[in-house]
């Protein structure tokens, strides 16, 4: 926990870097994350998962390697970077889906026929940089992660949140939510809560189709 006001710091990121960066998509990063949050809320996601959708790509701006460098071919590990940055204020219900949302893409490319082909060109491009579809062993490890389902839900909203015509609530709509979650986390830490947090929310969607997609194409250069 830090004394900096998370809502102000995050709002500034949305208004500055987030409003400028497109990273290969037809919407800005701020628009993209706001759309993901709106999709999460529309799907009935809980507060932490909605916040995870809202904040899932902040690692493009907060990590040591930028989103620009990712688009130039260098993996910026923005899931991990974003999760580490957000952990100063938020618990694992927010940070773990953020951390795993790239792994979720790699997982779905491996197990769900047609998923890779439906990715946006930018997302398909970064997939190669991020390690390509998971191996069979990697999918087994991912499925054993208690945050697997939450990460997959964020991933679905992530993939759908690239509509240049969408009208969604602005960042200010989520200020009370973020403030409440940060306060809740501060109280948990004050009580001596460990890093594990509560179990993830139950899934609202069926799990991804099991079994490796034998026809899932492997991208060149992996
Ligand atoms: Fe995203």
In a domain, 206, yes or no: no
Give a yes or no: residue 204 inside a domain: no
Q: Is 109 a member of any domain?
A: yes
Residue 39 has pLDDT above 50, yes or no: yes
- Alpha carbon of 101 to ligand 1 centroid (Å): 8
3-class DSSP state of 131: coil
Per residue in 49-100, pLDDT (tens digit) is: 999 999 999 999 998 888 888 888 988 999 999 999 999 999 999 999 999 9
Residue matched to tokens 């992996």: 222
Question: Residue 111 domain-assigned?
Answer: yes
Q: Is residue 207 included in any domain, yes or no? A: no
Write out the residue range of the structural domain in which residue 87 sits. 6-190
Kindly state whether residue 58 falls inside one of the protein's structural domains: yes
Q: Is residue 87 included in any domain, yes or no?
A: yes
CA of 158 to the centre of ligand 1 (A): 5
As a whole number of Å, the end-to-end CA separation of the chain is 39
Distance CA 92, CA 87 (A): 8
Given this model, what pLDDT does residue 64 score? 85
Q: How far is the CA of 29 from the centre of ligand 1 (A)?
A: 8
The alpha carbon of 159 and the centre of ligand 1 are apart by a number of angstroms equal to: 7
Cβ neighbours of 27 (radius 10 Å): 18
CA of 194 to the centre of ligand 1 (A): 28
* Closest C-alpha among 36, 94, 43 to residue 203: 43
> Average pLDDT over the chain, rounded to whole?
88
% the chain with pLDDT above 70: 85
The arithmetic mean of pLDDT across residues 166-172, rounded, is 98
Domain count, the chain: 1
Q: What is the CATH number of the domain that holds 38?
A: 1.10.3210.10
Q: Is the pLDDT of residue 219 over 50?
A: no
Whether 129 is in a domain gets the answer yes
pLDDT level of residue 206 (50, 70, 90 thresholds): very low
Structure-token match 């306060």, residue found: 183
pLDDT of residue 4: 83
């Amino acid at each position: 926990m830090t004394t900096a006001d998370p809502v102000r710091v995050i709002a500034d990121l949305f208004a500055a870097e987030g409003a400028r960066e497109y990273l290969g998509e037809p919407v800005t990063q701020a628009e993209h994350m706001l759309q993901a949050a709106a999709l999460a809320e529309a799907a009935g996601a809980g507060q932490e998962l909605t916040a995870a959708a809202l904040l899932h790509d902040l690692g493009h701006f907060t990590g040591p390697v930028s989103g620009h460098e990712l688009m130039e071919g260098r993996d910026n590990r923005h899931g991990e970077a974003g999760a580490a940055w957000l952990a100063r204020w938020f618990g694992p219900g927010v940070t773990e889906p953020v951390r795993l949302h790239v792994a979720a893409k790699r997982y779905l490319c491996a197990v769900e026929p047609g998923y890779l082909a439906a990715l946006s060109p930018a997302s398909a491009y970064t997939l190669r940089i991020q390690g390509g579809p998971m191996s069979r062993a990697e999918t087994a490890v991912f499925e054993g992660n208690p945050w697997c389902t939450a990460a997959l839900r964020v991933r679905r909203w992530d993939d759908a949140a690239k509509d240049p015509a969408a009208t969604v609530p602005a960042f200010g709509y989520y200020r009370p939510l973020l403030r409440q979650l940060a306060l809740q986390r501060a109280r948990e830490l004050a009580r001596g809560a460990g890093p594990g947090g509560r179990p993830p929310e139950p899934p609202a969607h069926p799990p991804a189709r099991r079994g490796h997609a034998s026809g899932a194409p492997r991208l060149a250069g992996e």
